[in-house]
Structure 1
Amino acid sequence: MTSDKSARPGKNTHAFWLFFPAAAILAALAVPLSIYGVFSGSGWPPGLLAAGHGHELVFGFALALIAGYTLGPQPRRILATLFTLWLLARITWLLAPDSWPAQLLSPAFALLLARYVVPRFNAAKKWRNKIAGPLILVLCLMVPGFWLAGLVGPESLFPDRTRLLQSAVLGLLLLMTFMGGRIIAPAVAGTLEKKGIPLEARVQPRIEGALIVLLIVVMGLAMNAATERLAGAVLLSAALLITVRILRWRLWHCPERPDLLVLATGYLWLAAGAAVAGTHLLAGIAVTPALHLITIGALGTLSASVMLRLAWQRASRCPPPGWQPVTLAAMLGLSAIFRYLAGPTPFASPGWLWVSAGLWCLAYLGVATQLLILYRPAHNRRK
């Protein structure tokens, strides 16, 4: 996906060692704090109430994941600038989301991230390979879009903040569908080749191309209430294609690779989330619970798996112990189910909500702890 040829060992640092632990800590803290802010009656922290909760998990957590995965090795001054902007944006948003520093710092981080990430995908020749750069740019531009939506108000033609967040989640669905396939396919092919089992269906360019087009269309349709049902129909078609793609990878031949099976589980959550969200849109019912199957089930499982996988490869040149990704996948899967059961008015079902939040929090505290433990051996190996 990205090239490390320009990296100079000793002067450049891999971005994921900085952004992945920070993203995991933010994820672990933001969800229980957002619930506490409502049930305590204190309204603290204000930045996690209402749409602020989605803002931080999409534009704080998810963009930190994108930064860690796509930036690659960077000079420390660049990483320090990006990370400082990200951290200040998180702090100011949590404490005073309506202040000018909070409104300006989040877009500043997103735009600077796009400045360094998007050009890394320009070398691709096929249109399918070029899609990651423009998609990341769109997701980054949605951060100032969120700010603008708050300025112009709900009576304008500009999409409101809720629809922008929904479209951003669908953009993450597309990004995970694309990047997840590029991670899983070669890993499965290599494992099967060692067993003498050829895998002809690897990237599956026709299915991948169709998914890119369908999900871009869904992102646009979801912006308007008048086209929501059409968006649901298209989303169901995408869910079917994602399922077909997974089945063609023949992962049942890889029982000795729990790390791959967990990545495939995350990919299955993409199909499940897309199918349930599409059904909700077609039926004209609230789509928010279904979108949590994407953000908790798919994004949670895939991000935790990828973070551990990269850290273990750098530290020990091996995949993580099987119990780690399996445990995380189980916790995050249950968290997604419980949040879905809490429904469109989750604070009316505090039991489901707190169990979901607790599982999510424990999973990401575990990821953050493991990343910090692995940093030292990885740093020593680099020396």
Structure 2
Amino acid sequence: MALLPLDDLDKHPPLTGWAPFALGFRPFFLAAGVFAVLLMALWLLVLRGSLDLGELPPQVWHGHEMLFGFAVAVIAGFLLTAAQNWTGIPILSGPPLAALFLLWLAGRLGFLVPGLPAELVALVDLAFLPAVALVLAVPILKARQLHNAPFPVLLLVLTAANALVHLQALGWADTAGLGLHLATYVVVTMMVLMGGRVIPSFTDNKLNTRARRWKTIEILAPVATVGALLAALAAPYSLVTALFAAIAAAVHVIRLVGWYTHKFWSVPLLWILHLGYAWIALGFALLALSAAGISTAAVSALHAFTTGGIGVLTLGMMARVSLGHTGRVLEAAPLMTRAFVAINLAALLRVALPLLFPGVYTQSMTAAGLLWMAAFGLFVVVYAPMLLRPRVDGKPG
């Protein structure tokens, strides 16, 4: 059966049955979209003083759930799907996938259900990432694809970052801030690795172009990323960190220049990915300013990485991967183009206003939060039917 454009779906018989656990991207992408909206709604209520979340300080809870709830769901869905393509080995589907998804969900509920022992919450939440790492490592090792081995390893580093947050929740150490920064930097590193693979490839395949990839830059991109982020963890306000972050920013800008073609501006599924990567480059530039002593750049750097890099890239990747793996033509629905604009506006407000006008911090956060909710709400509206129903071409997955 040929791939079906979104506009032509009503010309074909309606799909029968359900397939929410046919492949990893389905439950985790849908849950990420729903959770992104609910999490931001709860956060805005916290900001208004209308909600008390209990044990964790509100900002720690917000950062933890954005990273280990929302971002980790997208990462799990993407890697569980991609690893099957990489290795040709079936990964996880049906009841085992449903069980893994429920483990993620239990971790989210643990912070919201009052009265649960902190030890139990930590145990359940910390179990998810090692489980995903194990599921990925087995086929990767079996297929001898050692170039993909960093992804299970990075999931274990994320587990360590999560543990640092839980240590504070247990009252054993004051390590939540370190854990959240480490988690942010690990997710950024993963996006740099995957972005380097898929963004130029997707662009070339769609537009019949050939992205320029300089060997030196491709080697420097992950090295400069990890070096700058480790320096930021060890000495966030130092000239060494400023230098490393500036180098990383320059490397990522050069990488983007090599991938650039004016043709992608006519394809929303492409420009959203290029802009997402550009937010990461800007994050490093702002990190350099922050390390050099410009204090107002610190918050903006963090949110260039999170709202910008993570928010924009995850929305773009979920949109494209979901179309491809449900047998549809790779064309964004008009509502998704609006969602792509909304998420970039959210990042712009979250990054620019605190940097330029520190006195409007709360207002900028509220406006950005509403745009974030609109973007992921539109994703859920457009993609829920695709993610819950079988592929339109009748293939498994």
- The residue that corresponds to 1:74 in the other structure is 92
After superposition, give the CA deviation of every residue in 1:195-231 in whole Å (9 maximum; x if it has no partner).
xx5x2624x4432321212222233223334765422
Q: Aligned partners of 1:163 and 1:288: how far apart in 2?
A: 15
Is the counterpart of residue 305 in structure 1 residue 316 in structure 2?
Answer: yes
SS in 2 for 1:315: coil
Contact preservation (8 Å) 2:273, 2:312 = yes
| Alpha-carbon spacing, 1:153–1:44, altered in 2? closer, same or farther (3 Å) | closer
Structure 1 Cα separation of the partners of residues 252 and 342 of structure 2: 23
Corresponding residue pairs, total = 363
Normalising by structure 2, report the TM-score: 0.82
Unaligned residue ranges in structure 2 (runs of 5+): 1-18, 82-90
Aligned counterpart, 2:173: 153
Give runs of aligned pairs for residues 54-133 of structure 1, distance below 5 A: 54-72=63-81, 73-96=91-114, 99-122=118-141, 123=143, 129-133=148-152
Deviations 1:312-357 (A, max 9, x none): 2233431133634432222111111222245399896332221110
**CA distance in 2 between partners of 1:80 and 1:376 (Å):** 13
> Which moved further from structure 2: 310-319 or 295-304?
310-319
CA shift digits 1:226-261 (9 cap, x unpaired): 765422321221111111111112321334423112
Cα separation, 2, equivalents of 1:102 and 1:38:
24
Q: Give the deviation of 1:292 after TM superposition.
A: 0.9
Question: Equivalent residue for 1:288?
Answer: 299
Match of 1:135 among 147, 154, 172: 154
Cα deviation code 1:263-302 (max 9, x no counterpart):
1111111111221122112225262332111111111111
Going from structure 1 to structure 2, the CA distance change for 1:121 and 1:215 (only over 3 Å counts) comes to farther
Q: Residue 374 of structure 1: which of 353, 377, 386 is its match? A: 386
311 and 125 in structure 1: CA distance in 2 versus 1, 3 angstrom threshold: closer
Check 1:18–1:218 CA distance in 2 against 1; reply closer, same or farther (3 A cut).
Answer: same
2:216 alignment counterpart: 206
The one-letter code sitting in structure 2 at the alignment partner of 1:214 is A
Find the aligned partners of 1:172 and 1:60 in 2 and give their Cα distance.
Answer: 13
- Summarize the alignment of residues 213-228 of structure 1 with structure 2, pairs less than 5 Å apart: 213-225=223-235, 228=238
The equivalent residue for 2:280 is 270
Following the alignment from structure 2 to structure 1, what is the Cα–Cα distance between the partners of residues 196 and 49? 42
Q: Distance in 2 between matches of 1:22 and 1:182?
A: 25
**RMSD of the TM alignment (CA)?**
2.9
Deviating above 6 A after TM superposition, structure 1's stretches of 4 or more consecutive aligned residues are 344-348
Matches of 2:287 and 2:224, distance apart in 1? 14
Q: Is 1:179 aligned to residue 188 of structure 2?
A: no
Structure 1 residue 111, shift from structure 2 partner? 1.8
| Percentage of pairs with the same residue | 24
Contact 2:163 2:179 in 1 (8 A): no
Q: RCO higher in 1 or 2 (8 Å CA, sep ≥ 6)?
A: 2
2:373 aligned residue:
361
